[in-house]
Amino acid sequence: MNFNRVLHFAFAHFYRNKGTSVAAIFILTITTLLITGLFFMQGASSYVISEVQNKIDITAYFKADASEEAILQVRKDLLEKSQAIKNIEYVSKESALADFNAKHADDPTFSRALTEVGQNPFLPSLNIVTNGDTSQYESIATILQQDQYAALIDKVDFSEKKDTIEKVFAITRGITRFGVVLGIVLLLIAILVVFNTIKLIVENSGQEISTMRIVGASNWFIRAPFVIQGVIFGAISFVICFIMTSVFAYALAGGLAIIMPGFSLSGYFISNLLIIIAIQLLAGMGLASLLSFIVVRKYLKV
């Protein structure tokens, strides 16, 4: 019975203060969209970073006479010795030649050059991609340079790529760090703006809250309508945000695919649907009701 009354108070307050209610929903919608945007940005930047990292590899070129069995044994050893390896691709002499021919099929100069050489000049290789930073590449290079592999391995190209790899990792680390800091700053600003909006709404009822205390209303009876009103603000802003996010995710997917080939915005939206719903509900309903709960406290001290 009491809950019904509290619910009625909340809806009545919401309806009778249409101006402030609309303002609060607008602010919450902007905040929720901002937080959702940060989530999408995080997804996109993670994708770009992982794409860049996947393109960084270390290649061990084996001597022309190294047998496939021996090379695959090295591959097996590496996988056993290092947890940091994401993938090792074996490229035989034949497939290296085939890749080369396919790549330069339109240019007869290359095929003429190969004919001049008279034999397959490519070496068999292992192409290694790790999960993380440059030190992992360095440790793998060290393993490959051990004496037991000296008779098999012609060269390891890590030292040639080292500077580039370090630069790329430094840039991706920088981007990640900047994204986190920017996200936190924007989030704090958004929370402050919502806090001030809720504060204005509650302050508008400050005298009324004090009067409610004087006539003997319990804290719960006074506070609950404001908290529920926060939930109403959040629920409406959630619906608006969810519709807008869906529209944006599908409308921008095509354009974004041109800038970031392989990244599907709509696919990211669908695969993270539950997380996005949780974020938007939490950002809207959670934030507004929690802040209402906190702000009303000031007026309950009567």
Q: Is 297 in the site for another protein (CB under 8 A)?
A: no
Nearest approach in angstroms of CB 181 to another protein is 42
- Cβ atoms of 132 and 85 closer than 8 Å: no
| Burial class of residue 164 (count of CB atoms within 10 Å of its CB; 0-12, 13-18, 19+) | exposed
Looking at the Cβ atoms of 5 and 103, the one nearer to another protein is 5
How many chain residues bind another protein (CB under 8 A)?
A: 21
Contact flag: residue 17 with another protein (CB under 8 A)? yes
Q: Please report, as residue ranges, which positions from 181 to 210 form the binding site for another protein (by CB under 8 A).
A: 205, 207-208
Q: List, in sequence order, every residue forming a beta bridge with 130; answer none if it has no partner.
A: 85
**Which helix (H) or strand (E) element contains residue 89?**
strand 85-91
Q: Which residue of 139, 211, 246, 264 would you call a contact of another protein, by CB under 8 A?
A: 211
Please identify which residue in 19, 118, 216, 261 interacts with another protein, judged by CB under 8 A.
216
The two tokens of residue 93 are: 């002499």
Dist. CA 50–CA 145, nearest whole Å: 27
Contact 91, 125 (CB under 8 A): yes
β strands within the chain, DSSP E: 58-62, 85-91, 125-130, 153-156
Among the listed residues 16, 18, 55, 112, the single contact to another protein using CB under 8 A: 16
> Please, what is the minimum distance in Å from the beta carbon of residue 215 to another protein?
6
Q: How far is the CB of 211 from another protein (least distance, A)?
A: 5
Binding mask 94-113 for another protein (x = CB under 8 A): --------------------
DSSP 3-state assignment of 92? coil
Task: For another protein, give the closer residue by CB, 212 or 285.
Answer: 212
φ and ψ of 104, to 5 deg: -115, 30
Return the number of the residue (4 or 119) whose C-beta is nearest another protein: 4
Q: Give the DSSP H or E segment for 141.
A: helix 134-144
Q: Return the residue of 5, 103, 173, 177 that touches another protein, per CB under 8 A.
A: 5
Sign, CA dihedral 281-287-288-289, equals positive
Does residue 3 touch another protein according to CB under 8 A?
no
Determine which residue in the list 10, 13, 268, 279 makes contact with another protein, applying CB under 8 A. Answer: 13
Query: Does the footprint of another protein cover residue 42 (CB under 8 A)?
Result: no
List CB contacts of 165: < 8 A, sequence separation 6 or more: 56, 134, 137, 158
Q: CA-to-CA distance for 25 and 41, rounded, in angstroms? A: 24
- The nearest distance, CB 24 to another protein, in angstroms, is 16
Q: Which is nearer to another protein, 172 or 205 (by Cβ)?
A: 205
CB closer to another protein out of 195 and 221? 221
What CA–CA distance (Å, rounded) separates 161 from 204? Answer: 64
Among 102, 117, 151, 215, binds another protein (CB under 8 A): 215
Rounded Cα–Cα distance for residues 122 and 91 (Å): 10
223 binds another protein (CB under 8 A): no
Q: Is 11 in the site for another protein (CB under 8 A)?
A: no
Q: Residue 118 in 3-state DSSP?
A: coil
Site for another protein contains 212 (CB under 8 A): yes
Binding site for another protein (CB under 8 A): 1-2, 5, 12-13, 16-17, 205, 207-208, 211-219, 221, 302
